[in-house]
Amino acid sequence: MNIYERLLSKLRYYYYKDKLKYCGGYFISDNGFRITGSNNICIGINCSFNVNVLINSINSITIGNNVMVGPNTVIYDNNHGYLNVDVPMNKQEKISAPVFIGNDVWIGGNCIILKNSTIESGSIVAAHSLVNKEIPPYEIWGGVPAKFLKRR
Q: What's the gap between Cα 147 and its chain centre?
A: 18
CATH (domain of 106): 2.160.10.10
- Number of domains into which the chain is organized: 1
DSSP one-letter string for 92-140: SPPEE--EEE-SS-EE-TT-EE-TT-EE-TT-EE-TT-EE-SEE-TTEE
**pLDDT above 80: residue 1:** no
pLDDT per position as a tens digit, 101-149: 999 999 999 999 999 999 999 999 999 999 999 999 999 999 999 999 9
Distance between CA atoms of residues 11 and 23, nearest Å:
15
* Beta carbons within 8 Å of 6's beta carbon, 6+ residues apart: none
pLDDT per position as a tens digit, 71-107: 999 999 999 999 999 999 999 999 999 999 999 999 9
Residue 92's domain comprises 3-151
pLDDT per position as a tens digit, 7-61: 999 999 999 999 999 999 899 999 999 999 999 999 999 999 999 999 999 999 9
Q: Is 80 in the active site?
A: yes
The one catalytic residue in 80, 94, 133, 151 is 80
